[in-house]
Structure 1
């Protein structure tokens, strides 16, 4: 199972979303250096390391933006500690306008 598939499965199970998009944006970061990594070479854009999550779930009703991000980060803690370098989160409750 790919990292993207694991992220999708975990978010589906935890939040029962009305809509979910997990977008692999790793290729957009080619040439960037990863701060704090043990290597000094520029990232080549390969692998599954940078993702954007767009998630609409009733579970987020009445929750702050920070609380929503913390909840998602908690569910994806294993991925964030083992290869996922960046996670952009766009989380909302049904009926809320999307933030960009």
Structure 2
């Protein structure tokens, strides 16, 4: 099955936030959804636009870019939003927790 939503998320975040690093991972396979689903995503985005912004404001910027996808087929979006300095210090985002709502298939 062709990926449809994942490249749209990548394009919108790239255009809207000009990230220095972006990772979009389809984590649907970790949940109780049909094979090939694009419903659960983990996004790691590193952008200068996050400077001087609280975490909730960073998430709001991501949500603004993905309004259509979140209103449609995307059920869950794990957002890890960093400034370039924060990312340089951390180097990686935390792993996503196991699904608790259906066995984590």
Q: Same fold (TM over 0.5)?
A: yes
Unaligned runs of 5+ in 2: 95-105
Aligned twin of 1:39 = none
Answer yes or no: is the 8 Å Cα contact 1:53–1:88 preserved in 2. Answer: yes
The structure in which a higher percent of residues are helix is 2
The corresponding residue for 2:81 is: 91
| SS of equivalent residue, structure 1 residue 80 | helix
Aligned residue runs from structure 1 range 1-100, under 5 A: 2-30=4-32, 43-96=33-86, 97-98=89-90, 100=94
Structure 1: distance between partners of 2:10 and 2:44: 11
State the SS of the aligned residue for 1:4: helix
The TM-score normalised by the length of structure 2 is: 0.78
State the aligned residue count. 88
The one-character-per-residue Cα deviations of 1:31-63 (angstroms, maximum 9, x if unpaired) are xxxxxxxxxxxx335310000000000000110
Runs of 4+ in structure 1 off by over 2 angstroms are: 43-46, 97-100
Question: Tell me, which stretches of 5 or more residues in structure 1 are unaligned?
Answer: 31-42
User: What's the RMSD between the two structures over aligned residues?
Assistant: 1.5
**What are the Cα deviations for residues 53-95 of structure 1, in whole angstroms up to 9, with x where unaligned?**
0000000011000000011011100000110000000001011
How high is the TM-score relative to the length of structure 1? 0.82
